[in-house]
Structures are given as C-alpha cells and as structure tokens.
Structure 1
C-alpha cells in the first residue's frame, strides 16, 4: 500500500484507523483533515515510513480527539516524533518491541490525559524525559524488559501521584533501584511488580 484513496477523507464517521505494516505508505491524502470522528489510531510496522508520517499529517484541529496509539516492532526508530506531545487527550500509548528507541521526547509530561503507558521490550531505552514525573493522570506504567533503562528514573516515577501499578519485570536497573529505595524504608501509594511471582 503506497497511498490511500483520495476519497478517504469522506469517511466522516470513521472512528478507528488501523495501519498494519504499511511500510510503503509515504503520505496521506489532504482531506484526511475531514476525519473529525477519529478517536483511535493503531499502527504497526515501520514508524519512519508509516506511523510518523501519519502523526505529522494529522491536522491540529482534531489531534485532541485521538485517545489511543499502539505500535509494535518498529525496530529502526530511535526517537518518538516530537509532535506526540501535542496529543493532549491521548489516554493510552502502547509501544512494544521498539528495540532501537533510546529516549522519550522532551515535553512528554504534557500528555495530561495519559492514563496507561506501556513500553515493553524497548531494549535500548535509556532515558524517559525530564518532565516524565509531571504526567498528572498516569495510572498504569508498564516498563517490562527495558533492560538498559537507568535506575534513576524510579526516583521520578514515585513522584507521580496518580499511579496505581508499575510493572518493571525484566528491567534490572529499575528493579535494583526500587529494591534500594524499599530497603531505605520508602513506601508508595501504588503497587510495584518486579518479579514473576508477584
């Protein structure tokens, strides 16, 4: 699939758009701006040739309607698009298997509606963002198998007042830092899953 039909923007009632392995999709029709009912985007595959193009193409007037974005196995992407921070009504961001992703974009803490963040098997992820702890609605944080994510980020995570569950199974640096903090007598309002027996 290299392009969507020009009549695509006439689907005024479309609420969900799923792009799966559209590696050759390099642009979207101009009338994509007419999809005013769109509330969820899901894409899988290369974000450089598919997903990021879509994110950049979404008209400003309705990006706030997007509630969920999920993406799997974008192995060649080192950074999320900076424009992601404009999706202020985004409630769920699910990233799986982005083995080259190194950090979250600055301003990530501006996602004021984000309640569910899952970043699993992001084996190169080292940094979150300096304002990560500013997420005001985050309830569930899944950082499974982020093997090189620095332990210092646990110090930021515990500052998020709305958290209910943090999963750090398979992320040894986070687990180590969490254990240090627990041994020091610190306590949290949320549950922490650090091993398979929990």
Structure 2
C-alpha cells in the first residue's frame, strides 16, 4: 500500500497465495483474519495498532511475528504456526484474554506481557522449554492446555471464572478440585541429556471450581517444560493443593506421594497400574477420604495396619480388575491381590461389614484373629486363597453361635 488506509478496519483473507502482506499504513485496523495462507512469509503491522482487537493467523510460514504496540488486543490465535520461532510484543497487552498457539517452534514465551490472560492454549509446541510467569500473572486463568509440549503429553487445567464475584476461600466452603495424572518414564531429555534426574512425560487434567491453586501452575511452569523431573519438587506441587477433592495417579509411579496428609480435603484417591509396594502411613490422616481404589497395583505387598482409622471410608477397591466394592462399610472385596500375605488387624474395626470376599488371593496366609468379632458379617468367601493356613477360632465360634440362633429361631 503506497498511501495510508486510515479507514481500513478489517482484513479477512482465506487460502491466499500472498508471500508478503504490508499493513504498515493501516494504523486503525481492528480485525486481521488470515486463514490458511500457507505461503505467507512476511507480515508487517503498524508499530502502533491501538485499535487491533482480534488477530487470527493459521498455517503461515512466518518465522517471526511482531505485533508491535497493541494495547487493546483481546484475542491472539496462531493455530498451526509450524514455522513460528519468535513472538514479539512492544508492550504489555493488558486486554489480551485469549492466547492460542499450536504446532509452533517457539522455545520461550513471556506471559508477563499478558497479565490478564484467561485462556492459554499451547498444543504441540514441542520445542517450548521455558514459560516465563512473573508472580501473580496466572491469577485469572480459567483454561490451560499444554498437551503435546515437551514434558506434557496431556496437560489440561480448567476452572470457573469468578472474576465478577467474591468467593470465600476457606476450606469449609467445600473444595471441588480434581487432578488426574498419568506418568510415563522415558529414557532421555532432548534438551538436557546429561542431567541426572528422572525423566518423565505427564498426562494431567486439573479441574476446580474455585479461584485458587494458581500456585500449582506457577510451580510447574517454573520447573520448565523439559522431561527432567525433581521428584521432591514434584511431590510438593501436588501436596500444595489443599483443596484437592479427587486425585488419580497412574502408570509409572513407584511410590505414592508421602505427604498425603497435607491434602486435607481429599475424598477420592485412585491408583491405576502403579508400581507401588506400600501405601504411606500418611494416608491414615485423610479424615475425609471416602473412596480408595487400587486398580491393578500388582506389586502392592500390604495395606497400612491401621486402615480402620479412615472413619469416612465408604468404598474400597483393591483388585487387579474392578470386581467388588465396599459400600457404606458393608462390603469389602479383595480379589486377585496376588502378593498380599495378610490383612491388617484394623479391618476388625469395620463393625458394619456384612460381606467379605477374599477371592483368588494366592499369597494370603493369615486372617486377623479377631475377625469373628465382626458381628454383622454374613458372608466370607476364601475361594482360591490356597495358602491360608487356618481359620481363626473367633470365626468358628461366630459360625457356631450363628447356627445355634438359627436352630432356636
């Protein structure tokens, strides 16, 4: 453009073959939509785009994008920017609330330039190593998706937007945060092959309905995006989620987080296909725990001795497959638990237990001596528990007592 286009406010191009687009003489542009412009290599914007509110650019060949001074920009969408290596902003984009960049070659991104961001999507940005997150810049986040970035095969964070209302953040209000995390061990980190730290790739999905826990995001961003993982820091980042209601851990975990007692509000703990051998004693401090599921934890050797201290426990799954459950402390099914040799004595504290199934517990050798004190117990199944040496006398006495009642009745 050889002369100024002062009245031009919108440019929409789809499937264009343009290699260069110069909008330097269109300072009042409000909307720039460039969809599927696969040959675009150069884009020039005015140094001051004071009215620009929406910039959408997909599938271009741009290596560098400089959006200049854009104080009113609200949405920046750079989907499938396969060649993008650098993104420049002249100053803070105070009004930017949505930033979406996918399939780029960006190595660093400064979120300090977007202090009011609510939605961040960085899918398949596999070279992204560092997210610069100044303190407090994540407070307004309601949606984050880092799936496909280096250390995260899947990472999703969602929470409701409470910017327009005041919320009491005390623990008594009723925490409703959920974290699903799956870990896969990998051989090396592409960017730090010589660092002697465990190398993991993560699947994460974090949901909450309260404007809190942004520290969880800040910690993970500060750790960097590569596969190197400091397990102590990793544990702290999870146990800092005091409002966490549900925690799901899967695959390459070799031990459960030791400081589980810090998760004061945890109601559900689910472990899938883990390699754990023991549950930490700190699990007994989870006074609100209602549901404990250990699915296909084939290396698990025993349960905590004082498992009966979990006063709120309503459902327990401990199987190689989903086979049974304890509902309101009336049913307890332990099936295909191939390594467990004994049950904790505290199981005798489950006074409402009616149905105890110990099916195919191949290594089970001994039952608690006072198991017969479970006055409500109506059914005991020991089928397949071939190593069980004897039945406690208390059980035999309970059977005799029950038989006498039947005869008298």
TM-score range relative to shorter protein:
0.5 to 0.7
Match of 2:346 in 1: 156
How far apart are the structure 1 equivalents of 2:294 and 2:266?
15
Of 181, 184, 206 in structure 2, the residue corresponding to residue 46 of structure 1 is 184
Query: Highest CA radius of gyration, 1 or 2?
Result: 2
Instruction: For residue 190 of structure 1, report the CA deviation from its aligned partner.
Output: 7.3
Match of 1:80 in 2: 256
Match of 1:31 in 2: none
TM-score, normalised to structure 2's length?
A: 0.35
- The residue matched to 1:9 in structure 2 has which SS? coil
Of 280, 292, 315 in structure 2, the residue corresponding to residue 117 of structure 1 is 292
- The residue matched to 2:138 in structure 1 has which SS? helix
How far apart are the structure 1 equivalents of 2:247 and 2:375?
29
How far apart are the structure 1 equivalents of 2:132 and 2:292?
34
Match of 1:66 in 2: 244
How far apart are the structure 1 equivalents of 2:341 and 2:146?
32
- Checking the alignment, whether the CA contact within 8 Å between 1:22 and 1:46 is kept in structure 2 is no
Query: Is 1:89 aligned with 2:89?
Result: no
Match of 1:187 in 2: 374
- Checking the alignment, whether the CA contact within 8 Å between 1:79 and 1:102 is kept in structure 2 is yes
How far apart are the structure 1 equivalents of 2:290 and 2:145?
21
Instruction: For residue 121 of structure 1, report the CA deviation from its aligned partner.
Output: 1.0
Instruction: For residue 157 of structure 1, report the CA deviation from its aligned partner.
Output: 2.5
Structure 2 residue ranges without an equivalent (≥5): 1-125, 153-168, 170-174, 186-197, 205-230, 321-336, 384-409
Instruction: For residue 46 of structure 1, report the CA deviation from its aligned partner.
Output: 3.5
Structure 1 residue ranges without an equivalent (≥5): 26-35
- Checking the alignment, whether the CA contact within 8 Å between 1:144 and 1:170 is kept in structure 2 is no
- Checking the alignment, whether the CA contact within 8 Å between 1:139 and 1:164 is kept in structure 2 is no
Instruction: For residue 172 of structure 1, report the CA deviation from its aligned partner.
Output: 3.5
How far apart are the structure 1 equivalents of 2:280 and 2:139?
33
Larger helix fraction of residues: 1
Post-superposition CA distance 1:115-146 (Å, at most 9, x none): 00000211111122243221121111111133
- Taking a change above 3 Å as real, the CA distance of residues 102 and 3 of structure 1, as seen in their structure-2 partners, is farther
Post-superposition CA distance 1:44-80 (Å, at most 9, x none): 12387448655422574xx221000112222xx3321
- Checking the alignment, whether the CA contact within 8 Å between 2:259 and 2:282 is kept in structure 1 is no
- Checking the alignment, whether the CA contact within 8 Å between 1:93 and 1:117 is kept in structure 2 is yes
- The residue matched to 1:137 in structure 2 has which SS? coil
The alignment of Structure 1 onto Structure 2 pairs a total of residues equal to 176
Match of 1:10 in 2: 139
How far apart are the structure 1 equivalents of 2:149 and 2:379?
37
What RMSD over aligned residues (CA atoms) do the two structures have, in Å?
4.4
Question: After alignment, is 112-121 or 132-141 more displaced?
Answer: 132-141
How far apart are the structure 2 equivalents of 1:195 and 1:121?
20
How far apart are the structure 1 equivalents of 2:145 and 2:307?
28
- Taking a change above 3 Å as real, the CA distance of residues 136 and 59 of structure 1, as seen in their structure-2 partners, is closer
Match of 1:32 in 2: none
Q: Which has the higher contact order (CA 8 A, sep 6+)?
A: 1
How far apart are the structure 2 equivalents of 1:139 and 1:88?
17
- Taking a change above 3 Å as real, the CA distance of residues 58 and 78 of structure 1, as seen in their structure-2 partners, is closer
TM-score, normalised to structure 1's length?
A: 0.64
Query: Is 1:57 aligned with 2:237?
Result: yes
- Taking a change above 3 Å as real, the CA distance of residues 5 and 148 of structure 1, as seen in their structure-2 partners, is same
